[in-house]
Homo-oligomer: A and B are copies of this chain.
Amino acid sequence: MNLGFIGLVQMGQGMAANLLKAGHQLTVYNRSPGKDEALLALGATRAATPAQAAAGDAVVSMLADDKAAEAIVFGEHGILGSPAMHISCSTISVELSERLMAAHAQAGQRYISAPVFGRPDAAAAGKLFVAAAGAEHDLNTASPVLNAISQRVFVLNSHPPAANLVKLSGNFLIASVIEALGEAMALVAKGGVDKAAYLDLLTSTLFSAPVYKTYGGLILEGKFEPPGFAAPLGQKDIRLTLAAAEALRVPMPLASLLRDRFLTLMATGGEGLDWSAIGGLAARDSGQ
C-alpha cells in the first residue's frame, strides 16, 4: 500500500519502520525536523506537510496529545479532505475523536481510530496491541497496516471514539495497579516485610501479569527516572478518562483518587518522573 505516517517520536519511529519492513511505500512527516533520518535510510520519502503524507491509500497519525492531533488535521496543510484514509493511533480524548469522526465524514474522508497498547520496545518489535474501531470496510482496508505494527488487533465496533475510550480506560487500569501496589507495599514494608520478597510472592501467584512485574519493580527500586512514560502524560490520560466519564455520567471514584495522586506528585517535585512515581506517595504519606 501507499502509506503516510505522521508523528515520528519514540513510538512512531518503531511503528513506521515496521510498515516499511512489511513492504509498504511510506511517506513520513514530523513537525520538528531530524526525526526521519533512520526511516529515510530504510526507504521512506519525506513529506513537507501533513497533507503531502496523506495523498496515498492511508495515513497513520501517532501524536502526543489532542493539540498535536488537531493541528495535523485541522491546521494549515492539514490532512482533512485528503484522499488517504486516516488511521488515528494517538491516545486522544473521546471528544476529539468525535470531532474528527464528524469532520472526516463531512469531508468525505475515511477515518478509523486505532490506539495502541505497549511501550517503545514493543513498537519497535511490531508487538503492540491495537484497539480498533470504525466501519467494517475501513477496518478491512486498514488491516495490513495494523497487522504490521502489532501482535494482535482487537476490533471493538464501528464507532471510532469507542477505541479511544478503551485506550484511556486501559491507562486508568494500569494507574490503578500502580496505586494499589503503592499502598500495599507501603503497608507491608512499614510492617517489616521485605518488599522484594513480597513482590516475588505477588507476581508468582495471583498477580502474574506483566503490569504488576513492571510497575512493582519500579516502585520497589524507587527508580522513577528517566521516565518511560512521564507523570504529566499519566495525569493527562486520567484527566481525559474523567472527562469521558463525566460526559457519559459515570462516577469513577478510583479515577478521582488517581487524579489527586498525579496532581500531588506534580506539585511536589515529580513533574519529570515516570508516572509510576505515584506509587511512592503512600510510602511518603506514611513517613517512610
- Residues in A lying within 8 Å of B, measured CB to CB: 94, 117, 129, 131, 152, 154-157, 159, 161-162, 165-166, 169-170, 172-174, 176-177, 179-181, 183-184, 186-188, 190-194, 197-198, 200-202, 204-212, 239, 241, 244-246, 248-257, 259-261, 263-264, 266-269, 282, 284-287
Contacts and interface: CB of A to CB of B under 8 A. Distances in A.
A75 to B, nearest CB: 21
Contact of A267 (B131, B166, B250, B256): B250
B187 A252 contact: yes
Contact of A263 (B161, B250, B260): B250
5 contacts: A173-B206, A183-B253, A246-B263, A249-B263, A252-B282
A187 B165 contact: yes
Among A192, A207, A211, A260, chain B packs the most CB atoms within 10 A around the CB of A260
B131 A201 contact: yes
A166 B198 contact: yes
Nearest to A153: B201
B257 A246 contact: no
B190 A180 contact: no
Contacts of A253: 183, 253, 256-257, 260
B154 A201 contact: yes
A89 to B, nearest CB: 16
Given A249-B266, A267-B285, 10 more contacts: A166-B188, A176-B176, A183-B253, A187-B241, A206-B209, A208-B209, A209-B212, A260-B285, A268-B285, A268-B287
